Amino acid sequence: MNLYIDTASPEQIRAADRLCSIDGVTTNPSIVAGTDRRYREVVETAAGITDGPVFAQVLAEDADGMVREARGYQDWADHVVAKIPATRPGFEALGRLRADGIPAGTTVVFTVEQAVLAGKNDATFVAPYVGRIDDSGADGLATTRRIQSIFDTQGFETEVLAASIRNTTQATALYEAGVDAITLSPSVLDDHVGAPETDESVAGFAADWGDRDPPLSE
């Protein structure tokens, strides 16, 4: 399973990498807009930190514009993967990019049907938006499990990349379901660490050890 960090912050990318050796970085226009840096700078900086894919979304809404932007992103770093929204122009752009060998996948996926179109287009990845699917009234986890099951059954090589994860309960359910990949916000990743019982136990070990000499002083 690949684990990506969903951020534009170099510090947060490095912190996540120290915690669990992340496999790449996802961004989206809202995340980049929240910084005072240019899109290219955000992507190039992330690409300088991780050897894994750096996912950068296109902003154009027409197929020609999407193709142009996805091609241009390749000049920023050779491991940039273009995120193409699951719209009609998006699927057309995806087919053209695939034909040209440009890495690109489908994002903002809300339905199993959209995911199947991505699979049939040999998308590099398909990203169901778990939290936003829940917000729409459907079941984000169930939709993502169905997509993973269909892709496994049909032999699609597209990576199922669960996105818009709101908490560790969703994340662990997806690990159990055998999802190909997941992207986590820094805060949800950080929530993987905390267990008060661990801190209490460690404090107990330290108390039992007391003022004895540390191991390396023997």
**Shortest distance, CB of residue 127 to ligand E4P, whole angstroms?**
6
- Which sign does the torsion angle of CA 174, 159, 182, 106 carry? negative
**Shortest distance, CB of residue 131 to ligand E4P, whole angstroms?**
5
**Residue ranges in 42-61 that form contacts with ligand E4P under rule CB under 6 A:** 55
Choose one: 13-21, 67-75, 125-133, 167-175; the region binding ligand E4P (CB under 6 A): 125-133
Compute how many residues bind ligand E4P; rule: CB under 6 A.
Answer: 11
Report the amino acid identity of residue 3. L
Give which of 138, 81, 78, 80 is closest to 114, Cα–Cα: 138
Instruction: Write down the catalytic residue from 83, 85, 158, 188.
Output: 83
> Rounded distance, CA 145 to CA 36, Å?
37
> Rounded distance, CA 118 to CA 124, Å?
9
**Shortest distance, CB of residue 92 to ligand E4P, whole angstroms?**
21
DSSP class per residue in 157-202: -SEEEEB---SHHHHHHHHHTT-SEEEE-HHHHHTTT--HHHHHHH
**Shortest distance, CB of residue 26 to ligand E4P, whole angstroms?**
4
Contact flag: residue 28 with ligand E4P (CB under 6 A): yes
Candidates 87, 131, 177, 186; binder of ligand E4P (CB under 6 A) is 131
Candidates 7, 9, 26, 106; binder of ligand E4P (CB under 6 A) is 26
Q: What is the dihedral of CA 33, 61, 53, 105, to 10 degrees?
A: 140
Is residue 83 part of the annotated active site? The answer reads: yes
CB of 158 within 8 A of CB of 118?
A: yes
Give which of 157, 128, 159 is closest to 145, Cα–Cα: 128
Candidates 39, 76, 125, 129; binder of ligand E4P (CB under 6 A) is 129
> Rounded distance, CA 206 to CA 194, Å?
19
Contact flag: residue 132 with ligand E4P (CB under 6 A): yes
**Shortest distance, CB of residue 144 to ligand E4P, whole angstroms?**
12
Contact flag: residue 65 with ligand E4P (CB under 6 A): no
Catalytic residues: 83
Residues lying near ligand E4P in the complex (CB under 6 A): 6, 26, 28, 55, 127, 129, 131-132, 163-164, 183
